[in-house]
């Protein structure tokens, strides 16, 4: 519980423990409203980690080797068109295409798209903090999280990204890849 207390206080929260003989113990954990805990799926592009909310993920698959190294396009996934985009181009990181890429297929409402990443790390609870100052209005970013290794990961705003990808993919004249 000491670790929980220290981490919570670092977020400007509090932990209160009260006990009553014969009734039990109550733990009250308060987090500031600027913090939320979500189930996140960590992915890597180049050397940067990003988090995708798990509740938006449908599946993960390997990107076809024949796919072009374009910012976005359309894939044929089991006979259905799927618009996709590469995080590396969207955020300007890691300009070299790795030997293998993965596609995280996400959905919000009726919109679906593939987010192309280098590696899949897996899911875990993520403490999400909102961005402030100049970073507050970055399109496609919902917040940030400090990872266990001390680095900061951006948490992707799936609904905003899907709106942008759907519009960009519709504007392209490419065929299924």
Note whether 64 and 16 are same-domain residues.
Answer: no
pLDDT at 176: 33
Q: How far apart are CA 122 and CA 40, in angstroms?
A: 8
In a domain, 60, yes or no: yes
Note whether 7 and 42 are same-domain residues.
Answer: no
In the predicted model, is pLDDT for residue 172 greater than 60? no
Note whether 13 and 76 are same-domain residues.
Answer: no
In a domain, 95, yes or no: yes
* Strands 80-86 and 57-62, sheet pairing: unpaired
In a domain, 176, yes or no: no
Note whether 59 and 112 are same-domain residues.
Answer: yes
Q: CA-based diameter of the chain, in Å? A: 72
Note whether 106 and 122 are same-domain residues.
Answer: yes
Tens-place pLDDT, residues 58-110: 999 999 887 777 778 899 899 999 999 898 888 888 777 788 999 999 998 88
Which domain covers residue 63, as residue numbers? 35-171
User: Can you tell me whether residue 177 is helix, strand or coil?
Assistant: coil
Note whether 19 and 105 are same-domain residues.
Answer: no
Note whether 16 and 47 are same-domain residues.
Answer: no
- Per the model's pLDDT, the better-predicted residue between 147 and 170 turns out to be 147
Place of tokens 């890429």: 101
């Amino acid at each position: 519980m000491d670790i929980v207390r220290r981490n919570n206080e670092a977020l400007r929260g509090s932990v209160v423990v009260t006990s009553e003989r014969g009734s039990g113990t109550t733990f009250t954990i308060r987090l500031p409203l600027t913090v939320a805990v979500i189930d996140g799926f960590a992915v890597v592009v180049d050397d940067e980690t990003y988090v995708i909310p798990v509740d938006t993920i449908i599946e993960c698959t390997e990107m076809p080797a024949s796919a072009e190294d374009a910012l976005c396009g359309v894939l044929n996934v089991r006979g259905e068109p799927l618009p996709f985009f590469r995080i590396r181009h969207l955020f300007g990181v890691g300009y070299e295409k790795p030997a293998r890429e993965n596609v995280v297929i996400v959905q919000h409402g009726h919109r679906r798209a593939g987010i192309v990443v280098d590696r899949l790390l897996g899911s875990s609870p993520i403490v999400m903090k909102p961005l402030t100052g100049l970073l507050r209005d970055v399109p496609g970013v919902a917040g940030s999280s400090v990872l266990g290794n001390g680095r900061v990961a951006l948490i992707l705003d799936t609904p905003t990204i899907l709106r942008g990808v759907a519009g960009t993919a519709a504007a392209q004249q490419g065929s299924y890849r």
